[in-house]
Chain A
Amino acid sequence: MIRISERGIFDMLALATHLAGRWPIGAYLRFEVRRQLRNRRFVIITVALPVSLYVLYTAVLDISSSATIDGLAWPVFFLVSMAAYGAMAAAITQANAIAAERGSGWSRQLRVTPLSRSSYVLTKLATAVLLTAPALVFVAAVAIIVNHVELPVRVWIELVLALSLGSLPFAALAILLGYTLGSESVQGAVTLTFFGLAILGGLFAPADSFPPALATIARVLPSYHLAALGRDVVASGVPDPVDVIVLTAYALAFGGLAAWRYRAVEQRSHGG
């Protein structure tokens, strides 16, 4: 009779943890997430702002609190909007880190370690996706506590997954911006980009309330489709293929441009 000893299981767990920590991307990812969560500006823009706006527009100001939009009650609709805004802002903000690292020479120091260039880029994408978590978790928590929003656990999980993975086009955009702009100009451009995408994409005020021309613009923006993806998941449990296709197309387009910028920059630094 085969008996797996308790000791053996603990040894295996210890080994697995050890291997994960020793996996370069795993170690890098952990390092990046920890240090960036200490950035006060990041926390204010991606967590404090959407949480405050959510409380303001669903609990403090008595506006449309009983209305439903796209079949969702306003507290649920705006929860998805603010979660989508926070996730998008967290992902795009990675551009600041990338530009700062290029400017300070830290990325050059990484180049003389065994970390490969593809691992560097992969880690940046993964960091962007992981850093959407604080925004999603805090906005959801406030929705539950303040407005007693009730959704099945499965739907909460699907919503978090949809919005964090749906942020991949914005992560690719962050790499594009980080490799295009210098550390001086990047912060302004990044802030302008995610506020612009949030306002025009109907995250701060529903696109349904826009004049027709603006509403048309909203419907081609990735920010609109990120929130729409979240709303689909909450309303019906299944994402609308249109949102998935549009977000994938943006991810590929930004990813392609980012790869082109990345190659141009790396080649230049290689020659100089």
Chain B
Amino acid sequence: MIQTIDNPRTRDDTTAPPASSPPSIGGAITFRTLTKHYGDAVALDRVDLDIPIGQTVALLGANGAGKSTAINIMLGLVTPDAGEVRTLGQEPRVAIESGRVGSMLQTAGLPIGARVAELVEFTGALYPHPLTSAETLERAGLAGLATRRVESLSGGEAQRVRFALAIAGDPDLIFLDEPTMAMDVESRRAFWADMRRFAAQGRTVLFATHYLEEADQVADRIVVLDRGRIIADGTGASIKARVVDRTVQFTLPDADPTMLRTIDAVTSVDIRGAGVTLQTDDVDATVRALAGRHIPFRDLEVVGADLERAFIKLLAANGER
């Protein structure tokens, strides 16, 4: 499911490296021509990916795009058919056993009978340098639920416990696979606030989501997966820019479509009564040309592309290939 967004926030496009940057030794994650098939189905198709330490990265894609496969390979739960993978510069299993990685899996049932605080304390004890239980509970917003049995928790509360298990070992790298599933809007907001606070201390965060809003608002960088391939990689703003498709709207009685088509950068013209909608590659050039030709438009409005539309366009373009 895809949520609609309209986020006019601008971003610093330099925070994310271009997809073709050289392999980062000692980076958080490295994929080299990584391929994984399940029978005839391709889960990942020759994927290259470099995630440096300290980034918060969203893996965005529809169901079956390859997000969970990618994360499971980074965690050593799934072995790739071909290609190379490094997690914190090591074989995934070695990285996991070193205790520097925390994870929140999509389908991790909690053990019946356990109390929240016991579960957090035990998980911390598996790591070499854990947070204290009190700190983990506080950071995951579970202080009030410490003595509750896990089977009595709501879906959203159980997700918070899974988040607590991911951070209990104070890891350098944290994986979150669809972390806000089963959460309502309010707990989703609270969850990401907690997550941001955790990530702000130089940790690397990688999360899978199919919520565009989350990817755009939380991540420094968005990697869009579709049918096992990376089809876009950059900030939310840069992904929008790749599929620039801005719209200029105004009121102009008796508009002449032929003339409007000759306006700079216009790609399409749509006239409904007195309402005119122009699609343009370059809003500035189009507006300047409209003014330059003394066209008597009124109520001019520029509508930016939202990430939602950019995403759909990217998926469609990939499908035509």
Contacts and interface: CB of A to CB of B under 8 A. Distances in A.
A262 to B, nearest CB: 16
Given A21-B125, A270-B79, A114 B111 contact: no
B1 interface: no
Contact of A113 (B109, B112, B127): B127
Interface stretch (A28-36, A66-74, A82-90, A210-218): A28-36
Interface string B111-127: 11111001101110111
Contacts of A111: 77, 96
B108 A28 contact: no
Contacts, number: 92
Contacts of A115: 126
Contacts of A152: none
Given A112-B96, A112-B101, A270-B77, A28 B126 contact: yes
Given A31-B119, A112-B96, A38 B126 contact: no
Interface stretch (A101-109, A196-204, A243-251): A101-109
A108 B108 contact: yes
Interface residues of B, number: 35
Contacts of B127: 113-114
A100 interface: yes
Interface in A106-137: 106, 108-109, 111-116
A109 B122 contact: no
Contacts of A27: 121-122, 125-126
A272 interface: yes
B97 interface: yes
Interface of A: 21-24, 26-28, 30-31, 34-36, 38-39, 97, 100-101, 103-106, 108-109, 111-116, 269-272
Interface of B: 38, 75, 77-79, 96-99, 101, 103, 105, 107-115, 118-119, 121-123, 125-128, 149, 162, 165, 169, 175
